[in-house]
Amino acid sequence: MNRKYKSRSKTIISTYLLGLLGMLLIIGIIIIDREERSETIQEITYKNVTADWTLDREGLEAADVKKLGEYMDEEKGILSLYYQLPEMNADVSLVYRSKDVYTRVLVGEDVIYETEVYDSKYYNKSPGNLWNVLTVNSKYSGACLELQIIMVYDTDALTVDSMLLGDKADIILGLFADNMYGIVVSLLMILLGVGLIVVDLLPSYGRAKKNHSMLWIGLFALITGGWSLLETNVIQFCVKDMRILQLINNMFIVVDSMPLLLYLNSEYKVFQNRILRILAYINTGYILLCVFIQLEGTWDLHHMLLGGILIMVAIDIVTYIWVTKMLIKLKKENKPIFQCAMQITGLCSLWFFTVFETVRSLNVDRMDRSGLIRVGMLIMCLCFAISSQVETYKIVEQGLKYDLVTKLAYSDGLTGLGNRTAYLEQLDEYVNPESNIKSLGIIYLDVNNLKTVNDNQGHEMGDNLIQIASHIISDSFGHYGKTYRIGGDEFCVFITGINIEEKYKKGLLVFNELITEANLAKWYPYPIQIAHGFSICQEFTRDKIDEAIAIADSEMYHNKQEIKNNK
């Protein structure tokens, strides 16, 4: 009987695994085939006209859709783009994506499309991420289209892109095909979450295990899958009221981190740690604050996303510390840690990818902001599968510890640059005779006015200033060397190799251009001022490197005084 049972079990498992492989094969075929299919459809039935829009009716000044914030007249809050329609024998469709703006399309005095507004004080103020679909009648053949972009929030982050002209059905099918991978993975996340929640709520399971860990991990998978599905930007074609999707999208971001904390508490009692317990109170309090603000109507969830993300980052960092300490403790006590390590690796991978993707999306608007999160979810599923099947875990355990400790120890949480620990260890490497470097360029930088911004506009704006400064430094000097945040408002860049001074001058040129551009455009409610100093070290003893650092620091101080005197 036992032998027959085992044989049947193996047959069931083998068949199931074969089915999973078949599904993965289908997804692989879709991914490989979608580009070819999309290009074929595009050649026949529609074309991308994003680059064909201009800032004037005459078509003399091309419009760069990545710079719409620069073109916008902030007093009027309206920007017009123009496109010369081709000769048409039949009606065509214009499909384009907009984000956090309202739009209106005109031909002459005729308004042929405008964003529908479902008015309610409980909505966000913008329609969010929206595919606009309109029909252009053949009677307008050869006419000039005017696309009016209307600001919603007081920001230069305006998005109108992916402008496609042609057959509506094929455009929509092409967009679905291009996003099929994201749609499939998102739906699998949702199904996984629903399944885990249902199993947890079953009476038989509840009697066997009452901590509801499956409920919380299922809720997290459900929320993450729902957000990921919205981020494919195709569900919008199926819903008429776009603003409700924008509201749900923002809600998912605000509430997403709490189910993971509740899961960890169910399984590992993390709320015994005072800091994590306080962060949990802050997180739940912030969610209630978001509810109140949304109902009150002066602000909306769009304004609250940064605070939610910062809380998520804080929880992430503290959780990594807690996980590391717990694993070390279990190891010292000679307790089995493989299953625990694998589960937490999966959770932390997903958590890390979620935080990283969300923070990255605050600075650059992309069509789909959940690509890395899907990777994290797949990693988590893999880790949970391995934890229940594999008994040999030493290599995985060491890799887990290395990854967790490295991220925690060497990255600055606010900017993503190397932190002071990484900076000091890099200095030790340069002193090492085996480093084999011939010369070292040292750039010291200091962000002006941080205290003034903190005092007058709040620490959130101060953090924003530091992040902006880090982007400027990375975009200019980061191409040539290693960049670190070594203090509250202090940064350092190490440049090695040949032609160090030439690299410094090239980086400095871009550095000054970025600062000038930001200040002339008045993108931020404070001036961007970053003092800098430079020196080169040719001898690699600790004294000589410290001397070169002192020279760079002194030059930075003189530059700081010059900036203040030239205000």
pTM assigned to the model: 0.49
Residue 395's pLDDT is 38
- Name the amino acid, one letter, at 268: Y
Architecture of the domain whose range is 50-171: Sandwich (2.60)
Residue 483's pLDDT is 92
Residue 217's pLDDT is 78
CA geometry: angle at 531 spanning 547 and 480, to 5°?
70
Q: Mean pLDDT of residues grouped by 10 in the chain (567 residues)?
A: 44 50 56 48 66 87 83 80 88 85 87 74 66 86 88 72 84 80 82 81 56 78 81 73 69 77 76 81 81 70 70 76 75 67 72 68 58 70 59 42 59 85 87 80 90 87 89 89 89 89 91 87 80 89 88 91 79
Cβ atoms of 353 and 373 within 8 Å: the answer is: yes
420-565 and 50-171 share a CATH fold: no
Residue 220's pLDDT is 82
Q: 443: helix, coil or strand?
A: strand
- Eight-state DSSP code of residue 143: P
- Eight-state DSSP code of residue 138: G
Query: Which residues sit opposite 492 in a β-bridge?
Result: 444, 484
Contacts of residue 507, Cβ cutoff 8 Å, sequence gap at least 6: 443, 476, 477, 479, 480, 493
CATH of domain 420-565: 3.30.70.270
Tokens of 170: 């094929």
What is d(CA 490, CA 27) in angstroms, rounded to the nearest whole number? 47
Residue 555's pLDDT is 92
Q: What are the sequence ranges of the domains in the chain?
A: 50-171, 237-410, 420-565
Taken as a whole, the chain contains a residue count of 567
Q: 498: helix, coil or strand?
A: coil
Contacts of residue 343, Cβ cutoff 8 Å, sequence gap at least 6: 267, 383, 384, 387
Taking residue 153's Cβ as centre, other Cβ atoms within 10 Å add up to 15
Residue 390's pLDDT is 46
